[in-house]
Amino acid sequence: MAHPTKEQITQALTAVIDPELRRSIVELGMVRSIVVGDRGEVEVVVSLTTPGCPIRSHFQQAVIGQVSPLEGVSGVTVEFDVLSNEEKGRLQQTLGRQRLPQGALAQVKNIVCVASGKGGVGKSTMTANLAATLAAEGNTSGALDCDVYGYSIPRMLGVNRKPEVNGERKIVPVEGPAGVKVMSIGFFLEDNAAVVWRGPMLHKAIQQFLEDVDWGELDYLLLDLPPGTGDVSMTLAQLLPQAKVLVVTTPQPAAQSVARRAAEMAGKVDLELLGVIENMSPFTSPDGQRFAIFGEGGGQLLADELDVPLIGKVPLSETLREHADAGVPLVLSSPDAPAAQAIRDAARGIVAATPQELPVMQAAPAAAAAQAPIGGTELPVVQ
C-alpha cells in the first residue's frame, strides 16, 4: 500500500484551524516538520506561539483527525515545539497584530533550569534556597520540582498541603512560608510513594505542570531537574526553548566532568547556559582550620571550559542540610551564615545575568513646566 506524500499530509492539515488566530496551521507556518515512516507512521511537529499554550490538545486531536483517514497511514504522532522570537515577529506582521495569544507561562519573565550530570551535589537544596533568596530580595519566584523520581522541593520549602483548582480549572501552586510558589509531583502522591513511570508519562506530567498550573506573574521560575540528561531534560528543551540552564557541581574533578554532560545537553538542544554554582566548597571551621573535603577548583574549571561565569561557591555546611530537612531555608533563618551569604551572591548573579525591564523616563508635565521660574539675562533684540 502506498504511503501519503508530505504534500498530501500538508493539504490535509489546512483543515486544522487555530481557534484563536482563525487561520489554518499551514497558513500560519506552524507546521514545523512532517515525517512519514516506512510502515506508514506519520509524525507531525507543530510549533506553538507559547510553551503554555492552553489549546495544545485541540491541535493534537485535530491533526490526528485530519491525517489518520489518509490512505496508507498506520498511525499519527503529534509533537510540539515553540516558535522562535523571530518567527513570532514574522507571524505578528503577517496577522497585523501587536500581540499573540498567551498561555500559562506568558507572565513568567525568566525560567532557570537547575541541572547537574549526577545526583548528590545538592541541586535541590540550591534550587530551594535560590528561590527563597530571590523572593526575599523583592522578586516574585516559583519552584517547579521536575525531579519526579526524587521530589524534595516541597519539604525543603516547608510546604505540606495539596494545591487547589481555580475556577478556570487550573492548578494553583502552593505558596510556602518563604514566599515561593511551589509545584511538585509529590503533592499528588501518597506520602513517600515511589514513582514508577516510563518516559512518555514523565513527558506528560512535566507538560501538565507547565501548561495547567496557574503560575501568574513571576520574575523567576526555577526548575529542579533530575540528575542526568534524559527524558525530562529533552522535554523541557522542547517546551521551553527560552529557558536558561544553571549547572550545579561539587569541587571534585569526577563531579565536574559529569556536570559537563549536563552543559553539553543544554548545547545540543539550544538552551542557553547561565552559569555554574560550585556546592560543597571548602569551608573554614570556627577555630580557623580550612577543610577541602571534596577538593577544590572544580567549579571554576568547569566554568572556564564552558566559557560561562562561576556565579557562586557555596561552602559545605551542616546547617544548610539541617535547615533543608526542616523546611526552613538557611538563607532566611540564618542569613549571615557563610553558605547563606554565598547563595545570596549566587542569586544576585542570576539577576545580573537575566534581562531586566528598565524604567521609562517620563517628560515633566506641561503645567509644572509652565510654573517653573525663568532665570537668566535678557538679550537685546537686533532690529
Band of pLDDT at residue 374, cut at 50, 70 and 90: very low
Stretch 154-164: mean pLDDT, rounded?
91
DSSP string, 217-269: SEEEEEEEPPSSSSHHHHHHHHH-TT-EEEEEE-SSHHHHHHHHHHHHHHHHT
Parallel, antiparallel, or unpaired for β 218-224 and 108-115?
parallel
Instruction: Please write the tens of the pLDDT for every residue from 30-43.
Output: 899 999 998 889 99
Within 8 A by CB and 6+ apart from 152, the residues are: 124, 145, 186
Residues of the chain with pLDDT > 90: what percent? 41
What mean pLDDT, rounded, does the chain reach? 82
pLDDT at 59 over 80: yes
Give the separation between CA 93 and CA 88, rounded to whole angstroms: 9
The grid coordinates listed for 4 are: 501519503
Residue ranges in the chain assigned as alpha helix (H): 6-13, 56-67, 85-95, 123-136, 153-156, 199-211, 231-239, 253-268, 298-306, 318-326, 330-333, 338-353, 366-371
The grid coordinates listed for 95 are: 496577522
pLDDT for the residue numbered 372: 45
Give the separation between CA 325 and CA 301, rounded to whole angstroms: 30
Give the separation between CA 244 and CA 16, rounded to whole angstroms: 32
pLDDT for the residue numbered 54: 58
Give the separation between CA 379 and CA 356, rounded to whole angstroms: 47
pLDDT at 115 over 80: yes
Q: Return the C-alpha torsion angle 158, 164, 165, 166, nearest 10.
A: -90
Give the separation between CA 309 and CA 204, rounded to whole angstroms: 34
Stretch 102-118: mean pLDDT, rounded?
78
Parallel, antiparallel, or unpaired for β 283-284 and 290-291?
antiparallel
Instruction: Please write the tens of the pLDDT for every residue from 262-313.
Output: 788 777 777 788 999 999 999 988 888 999 898 888 899 989 999 999 999 9
Residue ranges in 14-122 assigned as alpha helix (H): 56-67, 85-95
Unique residue bearing C-alpha cell 536558561: 244
Beta-bridge partner residues of 172:
164
Give the separation between CA 212 and CA 342, rounded to whole angstroms: 35
The grid coordinates listed for 53 are: 499554550
Instruction: Please write the tens of the pLDDT for every residue from 188-239.
Output: 776 666 655 555 676 677 777 877 888 888 999 999 988 765 666 667 666 6
The grid coordinates listed for 329 are: 531555608
Least-confidence region, from 7-11, 29-33, 126-130, 188-192: 188-192
Instruction: Please write the tens of the pLDDT for every residue from 325-352.
Output: 999 999 999 999 999 999 999 999 999 9
Phi then psi for 156, rounded to 5 degrees? -70, -25
Phi then psi for 64, rounded to 5 degrees? -60, -40
Band of pLDDT at residue 370, cut at 50, 70 and 90: very low
pLDDT for the residue numbered 203: 66
